[in-house]
Amino acid sequence: MASIGKLNQHQARTAYLFITPTMLLFLAFTIIPVVMALYLSFTNYDVVSRMDFVKLDNYKRLWHDSLFWQTFKNVCYYAVIFIPLNILISLLLALLLNFKRFGVKLFRTMNYLPTLTSAVAAATVWIWLLHPEFGLINNLLSYVGIVGPAWLAQTETAMFSIIMVTLWQSVGSNMVIYIAGLQGVPDYLYESAKLDGATAFARFRYITWPQLRPTTFLVSTMSIIGALQLFDQAFVLTQGGPGNVTKTPVYLIYQQGFNQLQMGYASAQAFILAVAILIFSLINMRISKSEESIV
């Protein structure tokens, strides 16, 4: 008995030794910066000359900052359209490419390719495609007699264009996650369902979808975070314009911190954003739990 205890102790010690480097890095580059940022959000830190404690001033100012709340409205609008479409399209692609057929791997690769391009480079190319007079999209539309809008310059279509470009770039990786999820669904469930005469739709509804719940939870959570932290594409495609309809919280945080040197205020904004992400993720968790349990 005693020797087993000793062995466990020894194993535990070795285990701690092994995780120490990772934990130290985690502490230095994640925990400490987060705590620092929280502290800085109560100061008027400007990087060079001052770091005085100003209590809740930053948060009070934030409360009246209409632009900050508008950026939240913008990303919420983005999220409401982006997240369901993201789940739907990547799931459909995964279902389509889950068959074992000749050449299916090629199609998987091609669908995954946009994910590999740099967000900024891809966005730059999309600017050309979306150009109102000489862009490919509007040229194609003109063949069927439609005069396309100035996609990125008009208030009605600017956010919609960003949604489409980010979708194009993100469905590939989510498709791969869904394919992995689909291959984890045990075949005997389908077999017995077929024996009982279940239709293809019923099999999807009562076997595939519930079995994929953890996968959907992962994909939707990552989408929520990605949506609330939207920055590069919006920055390159529209620079937050027109009329601030595509300005995002991260864009404002960057501007406030690095252009105006108001790191304290920027940290406060960053914390509100982190809290928002936490809240939406919790809601997402509640929704995914309230569905019927896995068979």
Side-chain-side CA neighbours of residue 197 (13 Å): 0
Residue 44 near residue 51, CB atoms below 8 Å: yes
Residue 80 engages another protein in binding (rule: CB under 8 A):
no
Tokens of 153: 């310059």
Residue 22 engages another protein in binding (rule: CB under 8 A):
no
Residue 3 engages another protein in binding (rule: CB under 8 A):
no
291/286 Cα distance (integer angstroms): 9
Of 29-68, binders to another protein (CB under 8 A) are 29-34, 36-38, 40-41, 45-50, 61, 65-67
To 5 degrees, how large is the angle CA 268–CA 170–CA 209?
Answer: 105
Q: Which stretch binds another protein (CB under 8 A): 9-17, 74-82, 114-122, 128-136?
A: 128-136
Interface residue with another protein among 130, 165, 207, 212 (CB under 8 A) is: 130
Of 139-168, binders to another protein (CB under 8 A) are 142, 147, 150-155
Residue 210 engages another protein in binding (rule: CB under 8 A):
no
**How many CB atoms are located within 10 Å of the residue 63 CB?**
11
Of 108-127, binders to another protein (CB under 8 A) are 124, 127
CB of 251 to another protein, least distance (A): 10
Expressed in angstroms, the distance from the first to the final Cα of the chain is: 41
Report residue 43: phi and psi, to 5°.
-125, 175
CB-wise, 44 or 115, nearer to another protein?
44
CB-wise, 79 or 97, nearer to another protein?
79
Amino acid at 268: A
Of 163-202, binders to another protein (CB under 8 A) are none
